[in-house]
A and B are shown apart, each in its own frame.
Chain A
Amino acid sequence: MRSKVVFRRLLRNKQARYGFIALLLLVALAYVGPYFGAYDWQEKDFMAFMSAPDADHWWGTTSIGQDMYAVTLRGMQKSIIIGLLVAVISTGVAAIVGAFAGYFGGWVDKVLMWGVDLLLVLPSFLIIAIISPKLRDGTWWWFVVLLAAFSWMITSRVVRSMTLSLREREYVLAAVYMGIPRWKIILRHIVPNLASLLIIDATLNVSGAIIGEAALSFFGFGIQPPDVSLGTLIAEGSRNATGYPWLFAFPAGLLVALVLSVNLIGDGLRDALDPGSNS
Chain B
Amino acid sequence: MGKYLLRRLAINVILVAIAASLAYMLAATTMNPRAAYEGRQPPVPEATIDATLDAYNLNDKTPVLTRYATWAKGVVTGDFGKTWNGGSVNQEMGRRVMVSLRLLLIGTLLGFALGVALGAFSAVKQYKLSDRLIGVTSFVIMAIPVFVLATLLAIATYNLNRGLGFTLIEYTGEYNPQLSGWDQFVNRLNHLILPTISLSLGSIAFYSRIQRNMMLDVLGQDFVRTAMAKGLRRRKALTKHALRTALIPSATYFAFAFGTMFTGATFTEKIFNWHGMGAWLVDSINQNDVNSVAAVTFFAAVCVLAAAFLSDLLVAALDPRVRVS
Contacts and interface: CB of A to CB of B under 8 A. Distances in A.
Interface string B15-33: 1101100110011001100
Interface string B206-231: 00010011001100000000000000
A275 to B, nearest CB: 14
Q: List the 9 closest A-B pairs by CB distance, nearest first.
A: A260-B143, A238-B151, A259-B143, A121-B15, A123-B297, A252-B148, A242-B158, A121-B19, A211-B145
A239 to B, nearest CB: 9
Contacts of B58: none
Contacts of A219: 270, 282
B16 A121 contact: yes
Contacts of B23: 123, 126-127
Interface stretch (A128-136, A155-163, A164-172, A177-185): A128-136
Given A125-B281, A130-B27, A238-B151, A256 B304 contact: no
Interface string A261-278: 001100100000000001
A130 B30 contact: yes
Nearest to B20: A123
B142 A241 contact: no
Interface in B7-46: 15-16, 18-19, 22-23, 26-27, 30-31
Interface string A218-257: 1101000000000000100010011001001000100110
Interface of A: 117-118, 121-123, 125-127, 129-131, 134, 207, 211, 214-215, 218-219, 221, 234, 238, 241-242, 245, 248, 252, 255-256, 259-260, 263-264, 267, 278-279
A279 B213 contact: yes
A121 B281 contact: no
B151 A248 contact: yes
Given A121-B19, A234-B148, A207 B143 contact: yes
Contacts of B285: 126, 129-130, 221
Contact of B301 (A123, A125, A238, A245): A123
A136 to B, nearest CB: 13
B145 A122 contact: no
A245 B282 contact: no
Given A218-B267, A241-B151, A259-B143, A122 B22 contact: yes
A211 to B, nearest CB: 5
A260 B282 CA distance: 28
Given A123-B301, A255-B148, A117 B15 contact: yes
Interface size class of B (residues with CB under 8 A): 35 or more
What does DSSP make chain B's interface, helix, strand, loop or mixed? helix
A4 B19 CA distance: 47
B267 A121 contact: no
A126 B147 contact: no
Interface of B: 15-16, 18-19, 22-23, 26-27, 30-31, 139-140, 142-145, 147-148, 151-152, 154-155, 158-159, 209, 212-213, 216-217, 266-267, 270-271, 281-282, 285, 293, 296-297, 300-301, 304-305
A127 B26 contact: yes
A130 B31 contact: yes
Contacts of A256: 143-145, 148
Contacts of A215: 145, 147, 267
Contacts of A221: 285
Contact of A252 (B16, B142, B151, B217): B151
Nearest to B29: A130
Contacts of B281: 125-126
A260 B27 contact: no
B30 to A, nearest CB: 6
A207 B154 CA distance: 25
Contacts of A121: 15-16, 18-19, 301, 304-305
20 contacts: A117-B15, A118-B15, A121-B18, A122-B19, A123-B300, A127-B26, A130-B27, A130-B31, A211-B145, A215-B147, A215-B267, A218-B267, A238-B271, A245-B155, A252-B152, A256-B148, A259-B143, A259-B145, A260-B139, A278-B217
